[in-house]
C-alpha cells in the first residue's frame, strides 16, 4: 500500500467505526503493509509504552506521523 492509502486506513482505525471483526481486519491490513511490528498499536499506545510510568493523556500523534514511523522502521539484524 502507498502512504496515502495507509493514512486513509489509519483514519478509519482511529474512528473505530464498525464491528470488532471489521476493526480487527483493518488492523491486520495495516500491519501487513508496514514493516513496523504491530504498527497499528501505535495509533493508541506510544512505542515502549509502560502503563506504570507513561501518561496516555499526553499521547496524541497524528495519523501521518504514525504511518511515517511505521514505514521508516528498519529491523535490527543481529
Output the pLDDT for position 17: 86
Q: Are 39 and 3 in contact (CB under 8 A)?
A: no
Residue ranges per structural domain of the chain: 3-71
d(CA 15, CA 35): 23
Q: Which residues of the chain fall short of a pLDDT of 70?
A: none
| Residue 41: CB atoms within 10 Å | 16
Residue by residue, what is the 3-state secondary structure of 10-64?
A: HHHHHHCCCCHHHHHHHHHHHHHCCCCCCHHHHHCCCCCCCCCCCCHHHCCCCHH
Output the pLDDT for position 76: 85
Amino acid at each position: 500500500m502507498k502512504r496515502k492509502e495507509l493514512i486513509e486506513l489509519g483514519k478509519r482505525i482511529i474512528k473505530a467505526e464498525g464491528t470488532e471483526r471489521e476493526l480487527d481486519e483493518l488492523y491486520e491490513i495495516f500491519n501487513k503493509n508496514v514493516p513496523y511490528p504491530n504498527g497499528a498499536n501505535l495509533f493508541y499506545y506510544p512505542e515502549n509504552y509502560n502503563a506504570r510510568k507513561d501518561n496516555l493523556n499526553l499521547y496524541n500523534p497524528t495519523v501521518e506521523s504514525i504511518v511515517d514511523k511505521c514505514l521508516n522502521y528498519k529491523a535490527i539484524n543481529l
